[in-house]
A and B are shown apart, each in its own frame.
Chain A
Amino acid sequence: DADVTQTPRNRITKTGKRIMLECSQTKGHDRMYWYRQDPGLGLRLIYYSFDVKDINKGEISDGYSVSRQAQAKFSLSLESAIPNQTALYFCATSDSRAMNTEAFFGQGTRLTVV
């Protein structure tokens, strides 16, 4: 089983719908991240959480919200999806006890908003 699991892997939704992307990890890491990937724009940080009680906005948080339900679970919600939120979304984890901030990624969720 993957260390970082994202569900669903693919999703098509309509404009205005609420959608939740889920992420769970078995690595025991305290830090979790949500990124969005668009062609030519690299990875952009949406939200990050350094522990269950610590949630922070990233560079592109507008239109998104998150919930850290447990150390192992971090979900991303689009309250009212719009077409420009069509992208590949990645969840990642890291361990604050490590000397470096190496991140471990899930397989991604491809979201299409029509």
Chain B
Amino acid sequence: AQSVTQLGSHVSVSEGALVLLRCNYSSSVPPYLFWYVQYPNQGLQLLLKYTSAATLVKGINGFEAEFKKSETSFHLTKPSAHMSDAAEYFCAVSGAGNNRKLIWGLGTSLAVNP
């Protein structure tokens, strides 16, 4: 079985500060991992994904995430927060196989303070 835990339902940072959103997963098979972002009144869009290639994955809008198998983590980071980064962020995991589905974390709401 697979599961995802996002540590911290709300994170607040100052503009220009480091953004760190935490995601830990559990998977009995090699995982595929995803970060999605949801801006207010919009659907979810893919930020980045890990698919067993490079462990450091770069995404859109300056975000990146590092897959650490030993820590079962896939934390999302951005060196310098912008006001426009304020949104809900979701981590998701899926495994290989024909019937794979995405398993979602509960989300982390990021606030960016001026």
Our verdict on whether A and B bind, yes or no, reads yes
**Is A43's CB within 8 Å of the partner chain B?**
yes
**Is B94's CB within 8 Å of the partner chain A?**
yes
Q: Which applies to chain B's interface (DSSP): helix, strand, loop or mixed? A: loop
Q: A41 touching B102 by the CB < 8 A rule?
A: no
Chain A residue numbers with a CB within 8 Å of B105 are 42
With known contacts A96-B98, A101-B32, A101-B101, A42–B44 Cβ distance under 8 A: no
Residues 27-46 (chain A) with a chain B CB within 8 angstroms: 33, 40-43, 45
Q: A100 touching B51 by the CB < 8 A rule?
A: yes
Q: A108 touching B42 by the CB < 8 A rule?
A: yes
In Å, the complex CA distance between A56 and B43 comes to: 23
Interface magnitude class on chain A? 20 to 34
Q: Chain A CB within 10 Å — which of B45, B99, B101 has the most?
A: B101
Residues 9-29 (chain A) with a chain B CB within 8 angstroms: none
In Å, the complex CA distance between A33 and B9 comes to: 25
Chain B residue numbers with a CB within 8 Å of A41 are 106
**Is A7's CB within 8 Å of the partner chain B?**
no
Chain B residue numbers with a CB within 8 Å of A105 are 43-45
Q: B44 touching A101 by the CB < 8 A rule?
A: no
With known contacts A43-B90, A100-B51, A100-B94, A90–B43 Cβ distance under 8 A: yes
Chain A residue numbers with a CB within 8 Å of B98 are 96
* CB nearest to A110 among chain B residues: B41
Q: Smallest distance from the beta carbon of B46 to chain A beta carbons, Å? A: 6
Identify B43's interface contact among A101, A102, A107, CB under 8 A.
A107
Write 8 A-B pairs (CB below 8 A) sorted by A numbering: A4-B43, A40-B106, A42-B90, A43-B90, A43-B104, A101-B32, A104-B46, A108-B43
Chain A residues proximal to chain B, CB less than 8 Å = 4, 33, 40-43, 45, 48, 50, 90, 92, 96, 99-108
